[in-house]
Chains A and B, each alone.
Chain A
Amino acid sequence: MTNQTKSQFIAVASITSELSAVMVVAKEISLAAANAKAIAFRAGDKAKGFQPITDFINELAKETIELVTNINIYALVLYRLTVDEYQKTVAYNKFELAAKMAEDAPYAKSMQEPVDHARLSMQDCQRQFKRDVSQLLGQLEAVMHHARAARVIAANSRIEASQAGEYLQSLQAVAESVDKAAHTIHDNVQRCRIALSIYRNS
């Protein structure tokens, strides 16, 4: 296996592992939102500004989970494509080797067609992989966007929390955990993007 193939396998595998971490964190955000809603309800008027924010956080978490689920399906397709490309590359190299070894054979020329065919299907796989990576990068970008939005909301929550009197601390804790989670999601997704970006369609 060449180094390039190895790193392609690793890049694809790393998406799945990074994303499973993102999934855990997104579920945490969703939990934090439910928690915040309960606190805001109890705080009543004091946390009036906080209530729509909790809905928004919840919505964001749900969307992130949905996106990641989709991306995981995509990552599986990408994995299969990597296996396929690997097998086609092995075949192409072996066909070329056979053609070279058969140089002086009377029927050496008949190997040309399988060699050409193997090269084309290997290149097809490579192109398809690049196309799919570009699409996946787009979807990862959407998750990043959500993470950035969550951080803005967390900042707003902190301001709202400061008006909530005795609920200040618990609401601030909520804002804190949303911010932390969004940060983790952002970092993980960023790592996925970096791992994949070298395979992007240029």
Chain B
Amino acid sequence: MKTTKIYEGSHQWIMFGRDEGKPNNVIDTNQYVVRTANRCLLLDPGGAELFAPMMAAVLHHAPVDQITDLFASHQDPDVISSLGLWDQALTNAKLHAPAIWEGFLRHYSCESIEYVAIPDNGGTIKLESVELQIIPAHYLHSSGNFHIYDPQAKILMSGDVGGAIEGPDAPVFVENFAAHVEKMRYWHQRWMPSNQAKRVWIERVRNLDIDILAPQHGRMFKGDDVKRFLDWFDALQVGIAV
């Protein structure tokens, strides 16, 4: 598992991805960890087959008992089908996930982990002195969907928005936006269902000060590429399968 530190301040953001042991037939995902002095939050911790490499990677940064929080942007298996395993490994943890998916996500088994249901209008996750904002992103692509914004690190973890399918050796940041567009077009047109939802989300996100846009698949966007992405996404027609 490739590890990249993307923010280092009073706390840290670490990106995990490009797992070389991943079976070829499952989609590659990026996992993010927010690390404070004594706690650790895993954002979209990944599929069941990713559990062991992900746990091993986290152990380079935190002991098991300091993994206190998980966040699932939505209910997809590539996001959170590892839940049943985290549930058996962690004794004192919370899962922050969309309220409307609670009954569904519990199929993965969530007994020792406390399910913190996020209402439709979002909220915050407090990790010691760090306060993260939960930004609604419904219908992008899931009907109950959230992103995480860290105003201090200026990072927006954007779930499937900004995603692309990449090879195992792809760099973790977009280097040439124009060239990257082709890898994202079908992804957004086919998986994102609603132009209206897209418009509302872009409006909301344009008000945030973002250095890094960090999607769950493909590459992260930094600096001017964040604005380029928002402009490109704004102009794109989505929901093409009907």
A118 touching B59, Cβ below 8 Å? no
B54 to chain A: closest residue by CB:
A98
B85 touching A113, Cβ below 8 Å? no
B109 to chain A: closest residue by CB:
A87
Q: Which of B25-33, B62-70, B167-175 contacts A (4 or more CB under 8 A)?
A: B62-70
Distance between Cα atoms of A105 and B64 in the complex (Å): 12
- Please pick, from B60, B61, B89, the residue contacting A95 in the complex, using a CB distance under 8 A: B89
Query: Which of A64-90 touch B at CB < 8 Å?
Result: 87-88, 90
Distance between Cα atoms of A43 and B90 in the complex (Å): 75
Interface range on chain B (Cβ under 8 Å from partner): 10 to 19
- Please pick, from A91, A101, A107, A111, the residue contacting B85 in the complex, using a CB distance under 8 A: A91
- Please pick, from B52, B60, B61, B64, the residue contacting A94 in the complex, using a CB distance under 8 A: B52
Q: A149 near B: Cβ within 8 Å? A: no
Least CB distance from A149 to B in Å reads: 46
Distance between Cα atoms of A25 and B60 in the complex (Å): 63
Q: B51 near A: Cβ within 8 Å? A: yes
Distance between Cα atoms of A95 and B64 in the complex (Å): 11
Query: Do A87 and B52 form a contact, CB below 8 Å, given A111-B59, A111-B64?
Result: no
Q: B144 near A: Cβ within 8 Å? A: no
Distance between Cα atoms of A113 and B109 in the complex (Å): 20
Q: A38 near B: Cβ within 8 Å? A: no
Query: Do A105 and B59 form a contact, CB below 8 Å, given A87-B109, A94-B51, A110-B64?
Result: yes
Query: Which residues of A sit under 8 angstroms from B53, Cβ to Cβ?
Result: 98, 101
B59 touching A110, Cβ below 8 Å? yes
A102 touching B60, Cβ below 8 Å? yes
Query: Which residues of B sit under 8 angstroms from A91, Cβ to Cβ?
Result: 84-85, 88-89
Q: How many residues of A contact B (CB 8 A)?
A: 21
Query: Which of B81-124 touch A at CB < 8 Å?
Result: 84-85, 88-90, 109
Q: A106 near B: Cβ within 8 Å? A: yes
Query: Do A105 and B60 form a contact, CB below 8 Å, given A98-B51, A98-B55, A111-B55?
Result: yes
Query: Do A94 and B85 form a contact, CB below 8 Å, given A87-B109, A110-B65, A111-B64?
Result: yes
Q: A97 near B: Cβ within 8 Å? A: yes
B84 touching A87, Cβ below 8 Å? yes
Least CB distance from A87 to B in Å reads: 7
Least CB distance from A84 to B in Å reads: 10
B109 touching A98, Cβ below 8 Å? no
Q: B56 near A: Cβ within 8 Å? A: yes
Least CB distance from A138 to B in Å reads: 32
A interface residue numbers (CB < 8 A to B): 87-88, 90-91, 94-95, 97-99, 101-102, 105-111, 113-114, 118
B interface residue numbers (CB < 8 A to A): 51-53, 55-56, 59-65, 84-85, 88-90, 109
Sorted nearest first, the 4 A-B pairs with minimum C-beta distance are A110-B63, A101-B56, A102-B56, A98-B55
* Beyond known contacts A88-B88, A113-B65: 20 more, CB 8 A cutoff: A87-B84, A87-B109, A91-B85, A97-B52, A98-B51, A98-B52, A98-B55, A101-B55, A101-B56, A102-B59, A105-B59, A105-B60, A106-B59, A107-B60, A107-B63, A110-B65, A111-B55, A113-B64, A114-B89, A118-B88
